[in-house]
Amino acid sequence: VLGGRSMEENLKWYKEKKLDRLSSVLLDKGYLIHRVFTVKDAQEKILSLLDKNKTTALGDSWELMGKDFINKLREYNFFDRFKENGEEIKRNSLTANIAVIEGEYITEKGQILVVGDYNTSSALFGAENLIVLVSENKIVKDISAGFDKIKENERYYKMRAKKLHNLNEGFSIGVIENGKKFEKRISVVMSVENTGL
């Protein structure tokens, strides 16, 4: 026990501090920030940011593929690639008002790296609003460290693409530099609990 706190409390404190530093960087870069503790909280927060009058698409993400979350998305105007013709719905979802994606890594300078099918990458350019899920364990020093991690976990992304029926030639990597280009366009939901690798 350090300073009267348990190991678990110290770890949580350390993670919170890292997220505090990152939050102030992200705010300076024009992102909207939402801090949560667990992945479940993150899912609830994402749903609260949606609008039933606007179309929503979902990129590749283990954390957001659970049955409960997908069923809740179906209460919105959701491009449901799990129910309808996969390719056609994916093409249509490129025009979604809101895209929900998972950030693979986020640098200390606030750049977000995403890995996935064209749906995920094109969300960076197409959607009016972008909601990105990240967690404390996804923070890396810089872009180069992020690319190294992605290379290290290449088999994981290929397996994920196969499971999600998103097999393409290789996989695409997108980088979001900052949230300033379109004011209040990008919301970042930050979880203390780990999301994926």
Please report the pLDDT score of residue 178 as a whole number: 77
pLDDT digits 0-9 by tens, 116-127: 765 566 666 678
Asked if pLDDT for residue 197 goes beyond 80, the answer is: no
Tokens standing for 160?
Answer: 């994920």
Query: What angle is formed at CA 105 by the lines to CA 102 and CA 109, rounded to 5 degrees?
Result: 120
57-71, 110-124, 151-165, 181-195: least confidently modelled range: 110-124
Interatomic CA distance for residues 74 and 76, integer angstroms:
5
Q: How does the average pLDDT of the chain come out, rounded?
A: 84
Interatomic CA distance for residues 21 and 82, integer angstroms:
38
DSSP 5: B
Quick one: pLDDT band at residue 55, thresholds 50, 70, 90?
Answer: very high
Beta bridge partners of 100: 58, 131
Nearest to 166 by CA among 69, 66, 61: 61
Interatomic CA distance for residues 133 and 186, integer angstroms:
11
What are the DSSP calls for 162-186, one per residue? Answer: HHTT---SS-EEEEE--S-SSTT-E
Please report the pLDDT score of residue 1 as a whole number: 47
Interatomic CA distance for residues 157 and 104, integer angstroms:
10
Q: What is the pTM of this model?
A: 0.88
Place of tokens 């872009």: 143
- pLDDT mean over 55-74: 86
Task: Estimate to the nearest angstrom the gap between the alpha carbon of 17 and the chain centroid.
Answer: 20
Neighbours of 167 (CB within 10 A): 10
pLDDT digits 0-9 by tens, 133-175: 999 999 999 999 999 999 998 888 777 777 766 655 556 778 8
> How many residues are listed for the chain in this entry?
197
* Neighbouring residues of 183: CB distance < 8 A, sequence distance ≥ 6: 30
One-letter identity of residue 159: M
